[in-house]
């Protein structure tokens, strides 16, 4: 490129006009940046709900999947109002993913156990050939006004929703640092963006996950590892569609719950479906988001317009 061509290109770039390395305007030779074919993802809490929807959506883009779930209706916790996924659901979801034409494994593991997460990661790398994407989705709720909350209710939710995310990241780091690439996606909530009555334990963890996500983005960027969070609003999952959930905010029925969320959302919907969250996760995992890190993506039907900043 001569001096005249260089100055012309610099001027166009300064005005926002794309100039490719071929010198032609508007012509990119980059591959499809949503092409995730052959990559491998590990998703926690993947037996159903948002985790399963994320696994399915990634699969549609050619990603091999390790579905990790506690697969235990109580998980040894004093949870009332809903149950966790069971082994049959994990097995069924894994079979469903396999039928979509990719490699998949189901791994029963508790995110509270770092050793179990490391073993799940090692198995993923060994059987599926790598680890490019990690989605720390597993979460629980235990509802109570803070004044009446038992210590074990506080501890159980902290151990799963916050420490479990840290364990998931710790387990993934050796491989991602080795290959100098990776995308870690955490699941927070609108409850991590504002105060929520009746679930002080849950809200505390979701605020903390945002802090952890941003800290990891700053620390891991030098290894070309991106770390982002998704903050969903109400989603049609077993946890949200539970008596414990609607009663925690003073509602007496699902109908009251829907009416309240319709009033909160800017867009006309009481709740999203898990696939709506999954699309955002796939985007963040892809090269379309190659320069996005440390972000919290609000998938909140416009309810996030209420936030102050």
* Domain at 51, CATH number: 3.40.50.720
pLDDT tens readout for residues 248-289: 878 889 999 999 999 999 999 999 999 999 999 999 999 999
Could you give the number of structural domains in the chain?
A: 1
Residue 264 among the catalytic residues: no
Please give the residue range of the domain that contains residue 225. Answer: 36-306
Is pTM beyond 0.85 here? yes
Q: Does 21 fall in a domain? A: no
Q: Does 132 fall in a domain? A: yes
Per residue of the chain (309 residues), give pLDDT as tens.
554 444 444 444 444 444 334 333 344 435 556 789 999 999 999 999 999 999 999 999 999 999 999 999 999 998 888 899 999 999 999 999 999 999 999 999 999 999 999 999 999 999 999 999 999 999 999 999 999 999 999 999 999 999 999 999 999 999 999 999 999 999 999 999 999 899 999 999 999 999 999 999 999 999 999 999 999 999 999 998 888 888 887 888 999 999 999 999 999 999 999 999 999 999 999 999 999 999 999 999 999 999 986
Q: Which is catalytic among the residues 82, 202, 240, 246? A: 202
| 188-194, Cβ contacts within 8 angstroms, sequence gap of 24 or more | 188/213, 188/229, 188/230, 188/231, 188/296, 189/231, 189/232, 190/231, 190/232, 190/233, 190/298, 190/300, 190/303, 190/304, 192/231, 192/296, 193/231, 193/296, 193/298, 193/304, 193/307, 194/306, 194/307
Q: Does 127 fall in a domain? A: yes
pLDDT tens readout for residues 145-165: 999 999 999 999 999 999 999
pLDDT of amino acid 31: 52
Q: Does 5 fall in a domain? A: no
Q: Does 227 fall in a domain? A: yes
Q: Does 211 fall in a domain? A: yes
Q: Does 6 fall in a domain? A: no
pLDDT of amino acid 33: 67
Q: Does 19 fall in a domain? A: no
What distance in Å separates the CA atoms of residue 67 and residue 44, rounded to the nearest whole number?
6
């Amino acid at each position: 490129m001569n001096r005249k061509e260089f100055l012309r290109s610099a001027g166009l770039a300064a005005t926002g006009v794309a100039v490719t390395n071929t010198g032609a305007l508007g012509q990119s030779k980059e591959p499809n940046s949503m092409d995730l074919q052959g990559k491998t993802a590990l998703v926690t809490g993947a037996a159903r709900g948002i985790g399963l929807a994320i696994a399915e959506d990634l699969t549609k883009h050619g990603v091999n999947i390790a579905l990790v779930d506690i697969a235990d209706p109580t998980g040894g916790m004093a949870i009332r109002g809903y149950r966790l996924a069971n082994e049959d659901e994990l097995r069924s979801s894994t079979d469903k993913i396999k039928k979509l034409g990719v490699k998949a494994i189901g791994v029963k593991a508790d995110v509270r156990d770092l050793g179990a997460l490391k073993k799940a990661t090692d198995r993923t790398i060994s059987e599926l050939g790598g680890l490019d994407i990690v989605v720390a989705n597993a979460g629980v709720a235990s509802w109570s006004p803070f004044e009446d909350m038992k210590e074990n209710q506080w501890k159980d939710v902290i151990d799963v929703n916050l420490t479990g995310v840290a364990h998931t990241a710790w387990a993934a780091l050796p491989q991602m640092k080795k290959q100098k690439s990776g995308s870690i996606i955490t699941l927070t909530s609108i409850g991590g963006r504002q105060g929520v009555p009746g679930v002080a334990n849950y809200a505390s963890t979701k605020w903390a996950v945002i802090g952890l996500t941003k800290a990891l983005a700053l620390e891991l960027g030098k290894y070309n590892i991106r770390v982002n969070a998704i903050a969903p609003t109400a989603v049609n999952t077993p946890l949200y569609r539970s008596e414990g959930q609607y009663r925690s905010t003073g509602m007496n029925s699902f109908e009251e719950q829907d009416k309240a969320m319709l009033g909160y959302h800017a867009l006309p919907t009481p709740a999203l479906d898990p696939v709506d969250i999954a699309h955002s996760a796939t985007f963040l995992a892809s090269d379309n988001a190659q320069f996005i890190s440390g972000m919290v993506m609000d998938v909140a039907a416009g309810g996030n317009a209420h936030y102050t900043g």
